[in-house]
Amino acid sequence: MPWSAGPRPRDLKALPTGVVERLRTRYDTIFTEAEAKPGNPPRPRRPGTRGRVKQSPACNRIRRLREHRSEVLRFLTDRRVPFDNNQAERDL
């Protein structure tokens, strides 16, 4: 996505709303596609059983990333939040 005339990305207070919405939609699409792959969909409860159903690690990760979407994508709306959490790399 090229940036044309106007402020440079690092000078913006926030990303344009259209860009944020496209990125959120893409984020959701990625996890919808991942959930459809073999081994990733949530395992159903078997009749007559109690308690939680053990899920695969991939299924658990997909669920957590969906539940915490706003925190994962916080850097899109709050320019003070870095894209990653690796301070050592940013210091270089």
DSSP sequence for 60-71: HHHHHHHHTHHH
Range of the domain at 62: 11-40+54-82
Q: Is residue 5 part of a domain?
A: no
Q: Is residue 64 part of a domain?
A: yes
Number of domains in the chain: 1
What was the pLDDT predicted at 11?
64
pLDDT, averaged across the chain: 81
Which pLDDT band, with edges at 50, 70 and 90, does 64 fall under?
A: very high
Q: Is residue 1 part of a domain?
A: no
Greater pLDDT, 67 or 11 = 67
Q: Is residue 28 part of a domain?
A: yes
Q: Is residue 90 part of a domain?
A: no
User: Percentage of the chain surpassing pLDDT 70?
Assistant: 83
Structure tokens at 76: 């899109």
- pTM beyond 0.85: the answer is no
d(CA 83, CA 56): 28
How far is CA 75 from each of CA 20, 23, 55, 84, rounded to the nearest angstrom?
10, 11, 29, 9
Is residue 8 predicted with pLDDT exceeding 80? Answer: no
